[in-house]
Amino acid sequence: MLHRLKHALLTLAAIFFLIEAWLWDKTIALGRWLVGLLPWQDFKQAFARLIERLPPYAALSLFLIPVIVVEPLKLVALRALAHGHVIRGVLAFIVLKFVGVGLIAFVFDLARDKLLSIGWFARFYAWVIFWRDKAHVFIAPYKESVRAKIAELKAQLPELRRRLGLPEGRGGLVETLARLRARVQKSQR
């Protein structure tokens, strides 16, 4: 029993870690794209030059500014949740998560060399990458199992449509569910 609980917790931790890593990678790309949209080319170049001139610990403090700005705002989102504004709170929390990770990832991308010149930071970064890679290895069999199950279900879909009397074709999920609902309502009359 204890082994199963430990395995389940490790699986959840690995999935959470990989989601964070995926968000990190995607928000770096999104951050680059968004900055590319800014018409202030001089500002962008000046910001990159500023980071290049900063000593490593100053770059680290710049790297932490998004954390200092975004984390208190997450408390506001949690407060909205606590006061019954569920949709507003959840949306604010999601947006803040993306903004926070995006800003941190973008600044890290610009200041990577400076930050990795700090010994403890380089060791921490190596440790995070090590565990990210381990999480990928740990989750790989589960991902493959899910992919195989999806492929199996896709292969069974034409037979299921035939048995339910649904038309052939690629009708979307909403249309298929609407047809099934109509059939159920018709048979209940």
3-state secondary structure the chain: CHHHHHHHHHHHHHHHHHHHHHHHHHHHHHHHHHHHHCCCHHHHHHHHHHHHHCCHHHHHHHHHHHHHHHHHHHHHHHHHHHCCCHHHHHHHHHHHHHHHHHHHHHHHHHHHHHHHCCHHHHHHHHHHHHHHHHHHHHHHHHHHHHHHHHHHHHHHHHHHHHHHCCCCCCCCHHHHHHHHHHHHHHHHC
Whether residue 47 is contained in a domain is answered as yes
User: 41-66: per-residue pLDDT in tens?
Assistant: 677 678 778 888 889 999 888 877 88
Whether residue 172 is contained in a domain is answered as no
Q: Count structural domains, the chain.
A: 1
Q: What per-residue confidence (pLDDT) applies to 120?
A: 94
Q: What per-residue confidence (pLDDT) applies to 169?
A: 61
Whole-prediction pTM = 0.59
Whether residue 136 is contained in a domain is answered as no
Q: What is the mean pLDDT of residues 17-36?
A: 70
Q: What per-residue confidence (pLDDT) applies to 97?
A: 79
Whether residue 174 is contained in a domain is answered as no
Whether residue 41 is contained in a domain is answered as yes
Whether residue 97 is contained in a domain is answered as yes
Whether residue 148 is contained in a domain is answered as no
Structural domain range at position 21: 2-117
Whether residue 155 is contained in a domain is answered as no
Q: What is the mean pLDDT of residues 141-156?
A: 84
